[in-house]
Structure 1
Amino acid sequence: MVGVHARPDSPAWAKSGGWRTRIFSYSLTLTMGAIFLLSWLVQSIAGRVSYNEERLARRQDPVSYLDYLGNADFWSRTLQNWQSEFLAVGSMAVLAIYLRQRGSPESKPVGAPHESTGIEG
């Protein structure tokens, strides 16, 4: 159901072929990976600001961003961030409705229309 096999009601990127269909075929993985990396980046920046505020309050020198990435405080905050778990599960459920992952039993076939549900891939 991709390229020449796509139906008239299939998404446009499933019909176009080439790099656009390839991106659409793995859009769920690409989107979830980007969300993961972006949330990790934002958490690391905010964590460094907070960590340096605590250090300055104790009259210690602030640490650089790269030094903070190797610091136990960063890893503790990262590994104990339970809110990210809820965000990941919730966004996976919502995004799996619209995005596709070729060969995944959890998502619709790449060429299936957005309106279809319960189609085996």
Structure 2
Amino acid sequence: MTAREGATGGFWRANSLTLVFGGAFLVVLACQAVAGRAEFNEQLTTAGLQQVTFGQYLTSSDFAVDVTENWQSEFLQFFLYIFGTVWLLQRGSPESKKLHEAGPESEAEQRMGAHARADSPRWAGAGGWRQTLYSRSLGIVMALLFLLSWLAQSIAGTAAYNAEQLRELSEPVSWAAYLASADFWSRTLQNWQSELLAVAAMAILSVYLRQRGSPESKPVGASHATTGVEG
């Protein structure tokens, strides 16, 4: 942070976007846990089984699968968006690069290698595998987070599915069998389609609609055809 940035608001203002959304995430997660436990206990009561405590629900496979199935779809959205926008374009959208800029761009444009500046990240000018890795690090980390949350969802989903099978006096299934089940793919695909719809809607609606002061929007007076310009 520069002296000027520090003078214009301090830590809280300079990090308010992360702090507000991070705090909101924790609040909503807590509310989900409360509502999820209530719903789960209703199901147990209907089945004639003993209800669980809040702590037991937080460590249950039912809570884990509900949380991770949403996480994996969000990380998938950002992974696809980060990599897709390297080559894919939308005329008139601030979510797109300018139409002549498709591709990874030159080292000069990306301030890499010999074009790195004094304040550039150290690996941006390092060259070799470090530069290659760092230049794709955001997409790689998003992909890893997606894969890890998808794995966690599949494991927790198997446990939750088998718990339900046992309550119904049915045979449990293996992890591989659950991956091929309609239950797993129904949970997964209903999240994927909503994320893909949201990205497509944002890309096209930002061509014609505006939000004053938001970097996700073009300036209010920008023409509909203006591409890759943020307000």
Q: Normalization by structure 1: what TM-score?
A: 0.64
Given residue 46 of structure 1, which amino acid in structure 2 is its aligned partner? Answer: A
Give the corresponding residue for 2:147. 37
- For the pair 1:48 / 2:158, whether they are aligned, the reply is yes
Aligned residues: 89
Task: State the Cα distance separating 1:42 from its structure 2 match.
Answer: 1.0
Distance 1:49 1:77 in 2: 14
Given residue 42 of structure 1, which amino acid in structure 2 is its aligned partner? Answer: A
Q: Which has the higher contact order (CA 8 A, sep 6+)?
A: 1
5+ unaligned residues in a row in structure 2: which ranges? 1-110, 200-231
Q: CA RMSD in A?
A: 2.6
Given residue 182 of structure 2, which amino acid in structure 1 is its aligned partner? Answer: A
Contact 1:43 1:78 in 2 (8 A): no
Task: State the Cα distance separating 1:41 from its structure 2 match.
Answer: 0.8
Q: Which runs of 4+ in 1 moved over 4 A?
A: none
Aligned residue among 73, 76, 86 for 2:183: 73
Contact 1:55 1:61 in 2 (8 A): yes
Distance 1:8 1:75 in 2: 49
Aligned residue among 5, 13, 17 for 2:127: 17
Q: Normalization by structure 2: what TM-score?
A: 0.35
Deviations 1:65-92 (A, max 9, x none): 000000000001112348x94xxx8xxx
Distance 2:164 2:137 in 1: 40
Over alpha carbons, which structure has the higher Rg? 2
Contact 1:48 1:65 in 2 (8 A): yes
